[in-house]
Amino acid sequence: MANLATTFAGIRSPNPFWLASAPPTDKEYNVRRAYEAGWGGVVWKTLGSEGPPVVNVNGPRYGAIWGADRRLLGLNNIELITDRPLEVNLREIKAVKRDWPDRALVVSLMVPCDEESWKAILAHVEDTQADGVELNFGCPHGMAERGMGSAVGQVPEYIEMVTRWVKQHSRMPCIVKLTPNIADIRKPAEAARRGGADAVSLINTINSITSVNLDSFSPEPMIDGKGTHGGYCGPAVKPIALNMVAEIARNPATQGLPISGIGGVTTWRDAAEFMALGAGNVQVCTAAMTYGFKVVQEMISGLSDYMDGKGFAATSDLVARAVPNVTDWQFLNLNYVTKARIDQEACIKCGRCYAACEDTSHQAIWMKPGRVFEVNDAECVACNLCVDVCPVQDCITMVELPKGTVDARTGRTVGDYANWTTHPNNPSAQAAE
């Protein structure tokens, strides 16, 4: 059987599934239950420095986006870092690590942007025997207004500076958690590496307002008639997270930097996709908050079965396997031509493909008598929209045209662009013209 044990930034865990820094990791009771359920590690909810207490709202903290079946697609939260006393958190972390030495325990930190504050809290965390620290440079609400969280994560110079402080004053592995609320995710990752970070984790939550109450005219969640922006997470953010993970993994300046993938991981498939794009492990929050801690058991068994089927002996066989296939648009192969094909036996004659193509795409699907739908190759640009809107899996597929055949739409023989130097997608060819 595949070995799911991982070593991430020098931190060992029995599997690659960690709980992210969030409400599920806010106290000893939760973390012990998580370990009992099978989680390989946790990132303890963000600790702040000694000083004025953090005060969370005493009203709704979450807004939600649901699918048509009321399946939770995304959560928006306005919760701050832990509001429990620092000494209580530290005592509980030490007790949990003592009793669960084989599980990863990383402590998330967020303190004011000065060296003494970081030096002080690092000394406290080291005393707990925790395995590492994660620097929370991503939180987009509440703390950012105080010059912390994403206010630091959006400035590469600050990331590099604080990371250097942490590496100077601590023996522990340092993971830098990145904000997605930035134009180019590669820049903060590069800054973290320059500062000496042992790894990065991403994405943190996305700045958002999920809904507006049309009676009170306040954003939700609503606190005494007012609302604010919060951090968005859950399955809906997964595509954004996958792209950002891939950008760091394939960037020469950050190549080889360990990545912890976060953002909408709900199933083993989600985890495998993050890992294939370069993540050494994954962190989960919304799925645990939706289904409970035991959701990890399906993740573990599913990933193990998948790896066995692929012949992967260890997670390292999967990590970054898809990265060489991530490229820029201009390098995509114009010699690759496909056409949609409809399986008439599987078709339920709903007409979604026809409506979508006729009204919003390329008028490439005919509706014949008896509601029989067929593809008109002369108009089909292989956009794949019909496949995506069809309610029957594999009823519509995209079939590659073999080289040497004539594309009915363009009249061009498949394989015309044999000479890359004249390929319209080639930036060098365009520059030469």
The verdict on residue 176 lying in a domain is yes
Contact between 133 and 169 under an 8 Å Cβ cutoff? The reply is no
Maximal C-alpha separation, the chain? 78
On the CB side of 46, CA atoms within 13 Å amount to 21
Q: What is the pLDDT of residue 54?
A: 83
Number of domains within the chain: 2
Cis peptide before 221, with omega less than 30 degrees from 0?
yes
Are residue 37 and residue 74 in the same domain, yes or no? yes
Residue where one domain finishes, among candidates 325, 356, 388: 325
Is the pLDDT confidence value at 160 over 80?
A: yes
**Which domain CATH number covers 393?**
3.30.70.20
Contact between 246 and 278 under an 8 Å Cβ cutoff? The reply is yes
Is the pLDDT confidence value at 364 over 80?
A: yes
Share of residues in the chain with pLDDT > 90 (%): 78
**Tens-place pLDDT, residues 334-356:** 889 999 999 999 999 999 999 99
The verdict on residue 404 lying in a domain is yes
Are residue 317 and residue 226 in the same domain, yes or no? yes
Cα–Cα dist 42/31, whole Å: 7
Confidence of residue 151 (pLDDT cuts 50, 70, 90): confident
Contact between 39 and 293 under an 8 Å Cβ cutoff? The reply is yes
Q: Does 380 participate in catalysis according to the annotation?
A: no
Instruction: Please provide the average confidence, as pLDDT, over all residues in the chain.
Output: 92
Confidence of residue 419 (pLDDT cuts 50, 70, 90): low
Both tokens assigned to 301: 């068994």
Residues 21-44, mean pLDDT to the nearest whole number: 97
Helical segments of 185-326, H only: 186-194, 238-249, 268-276, 286-291, 295-310
Is the pLDDT confidence value at 107 over 80?
A: yes
Are residue 223 and residue 363 in the same domain, yes or no? no
Residues 275-300, mean pLDDT to the nearest whole number: 97
**Tens-place pLDDT, residues 44-66:** 999 998 777 788 888 788 888 99
20 Cβ contact list (under 8 Å, min separation 6): 43, 262, 283, 284, 285
**Which domain CATH number covers 137?**
3.20.20.70
DSSP 139-182: --SSSGGGT-THHHHT-HHHHHHHHHHHHHH--S-EEEEPPS-S
Which is catalytic among the residues 139, 174, 285, 380? 139
Residue where one domain finishes, among candidates 325, 355, 382: 325
- 3-state secondary structure (DSSP) of residue 420: helix
The verdict on residue 350 lying in a domain is yes
First and final C-alpha spacing in the chain: 56
Q: What is the pLDDT of residue 432?
A: 52
The verdict on residue 200 lying in a domain is yes
Domain extent for 87? 6-325
Are residue 351 and residue 315 in the same domain, yes or no? no
Q: What phi, psi does 373 have (nearest 5°)?
A: -110, 130
Is the pLDDT confidence value at 420 over 60?
A: no
DSSP 12-45: EESSSEEE-SSGGGSSHHHHHHHHHHT-SEEEEE
Cα–Cα dist 387/378, whole Å: 18
Q: Given the structure tokens 């008028």, which residue do they identify?
A: 363
Confidence of residue 333 (pLDDT cuts 50, 70, 90): confident
Lowest mean pLDDT among 57-66, 276-285, 377-386, 391-400: 57-66
Cα–Cα dist 166/109, whole Å: 11
Are residue 169 and residue 27 in the same domain, yes or no? yes
Both tokens assigned to 68: 């048509």
Both tokens assigned to 21: 């820094």
DSSP annotation of 390: -
Are residue 279 and residue 427 in the same domain, yes or no? no
The verdict on residue 1 lying in a domain is no
Cα–Cα dist 155/192, whole Å: 11
Are residue 292 and residue 402 in the same domain, yes or no? no
Are residue 226 and residue 83 in the same domain, yes or no? yes
Checking 304-309 for CB contacts under 8 A at 24+ apart, the result is: 304/1, 304/2, 304/4, 306/268, 306/269, 306/272, 307/2, 307/4, 308/1, 308/2
Cα–Cα dist 159/372, whole Å: 59
Cα–Cα dist 129/133, whole Å: 11
Whole-model pTM: value is 0.93
Are residue 14 and residue 100 in the same domain, yes or no? yes
Is the pLDDT confidence value at 429 over 70?
A: no
Are residue 311 and residue 256 in the same domain, yes or no? yes
- 3-state secondary structure (DSSP) of residue 215: coil
Residue where one domain finishes, among candidates 259, 294, 325: 325
Residues 191-209, mean pLDDT to the nearest whole number: 95
Are residue 341 and residue 366 in the same domain, yes or no? yes
Are residue 334 and residue 398 in the same domain, yes or no? yes
**Tens-place pLDDT, residues 217-270:** 999 999 989 988 888 999 999 999 999 999 999 999 999 999 999 999 999 999
Residues 98-125, mean pLDDT to the nearest whole number: 95
Cα–Cα dist 248/295, whole Å: 28
